[in-house]
Amino acid sequence: MRTRLIKVSPSGKPNSAITEAARFIKAGEVVAFPTETVYGLGADAMNAKAVKKIFEAKGRPADNPLIVHISGLNQLDSVVSEINDSAQNLIDSFWPGPLSIVMKKNQKVPNITTAELDTVVIRFPSHPIAQALISAAGTPIAAPSANLSGKVSPTKAKHVVSDLNKKIPIVIDGGPIKYGLESTVVDCTGEHPVILRPGSITYEMIKTVVPDIENLSKKSELRSPGMKYRHYATETPITLFTGQPKATGIKIKKYLAGQDVNKLIVLWHDGDFSKLPNHFKLPANAYEAAPILFDTMRGVDMAAEQIIIQGYPPEGIGAAVMNRLEKAATEIIEA
């Protein structure tokens, strides 16, 4: 199979490229497309055979549920069986946007889409191309990140091609991604809503509209994608330093004293590591670092024998950044 890259204006205005991609979705094929979070690998969420092709292309475990994307609230009834007050408050406040909500599913949704669960993860993306594609396809689209399972998520079309070339028919190139981190996932099926995966919609933002929000609960963690397996992994081993910036900077310098610095690369944002032979300075602000994180990780992969990353304080979007880095790391050192 030859993978074609087709460029589409980020405005997402209906055009022949989106119409063609929608025809592939209608025909039961998979299409990679941009969202505001990362590039997704989409198929008709209501077509079990089509959804299976997502798992095959990615090498994704079958017990890892998919997020179902909609282009309008009128599509909700076809995929969910009930919307409680917490879910409705989140919908009213953050949709369309980078927030996915776990709700009780409509039995019309195939079990493969939800990993045999009685719940479904729903998102209404704000990206114009994603909205246009879903609307043109006329069906909700199930879409995990468009990368090989467990690897670094794609924030550019070239990342998708690097991972999935000859595995999928089309990649829609809509340019770089706005947020660069997968969506926040909130489970609204229990007594209290629970954040299963942090993202650009932060705990602090959610708490203003859903005061009883809680963080990850072990009993419900498998209701969301990205919770069970190692993710965001580079080929090169990652050593992650966690703690406050000043402390991690000091800890890294002590660590480097016993290392051959020519064999490693340091991703840093606090303390001066500019004299090292291999280094990359990240933005000091986690909000600014998030959109370039995955691209940077891909860019330095295989450039040395070890990647050292200076973490961020786990507040606000820093919690989402650290969630991704901790899942990617082969070693974590606390400062």
CATH of domain 4-223: 3.90.870.10
Amino acid 221: pLDDT = 47
Amino acid 4: pLDDT = 95
- pLDDT digits over 37-68, tens only? 999 999 999 999 999 999 999 999 999 999 99
Amino acid 15: pLDDT = 86
> Does residue 8 have a pLDDT over 50?
yes
| Position with higher pLDDT, 112 vs 16 | 112
- pTM assigned to the model: 0.94
Q: Which CATH class is domain 238-334?
A: alpha beta
Q: Are 70 and 79 in contact (CB under 8 A)?
A: yes
42-51, 176-185, 212-221, 252-261: which range is least confident on average? 212-221
Amino acid 186: pLDDT = 97
Amino acid 138: pLDDT = 97
Confidence of residue 12 (pLDDT cuts 50, 70, 90): confident
Q: Where are the domains of the chain?
A: 4-223, 238-334
Amino acid 220: pLDDT = 47
Confidence of residue 226 (pLDDT cuts 50, 70, 90): low
94-103, 180-189, 196-205, 212-221: which range is least confident on average? 212-221
Amino acid 91: pLDDT = 98
- pLDDT digits over 290-330, tens only? 999 999 999 999 999 999 999 999 999 999 999 999 999 99
From first CA to last CA, the distance across the chain in angstroms is 48
Whether residue 283 has a cis bond before it, omega within 30° of 0: no
> Does residue 219 have a pLDDT over 50?
no
Confidence of residue 223 (pLDDT cuts 50, 70, 90): low
Distance CA 222, CA 202 (A): 20
> Does residue 155 have a pLDDT over 70?
yes
- pLDDT digits over 66-79, tens only? 999 999 999 999 99
Percent of the chain with pLDDT strictly greater than 70: 96
Confidence of residue 6 (pLDDT cuts 50, 70, 90): very high
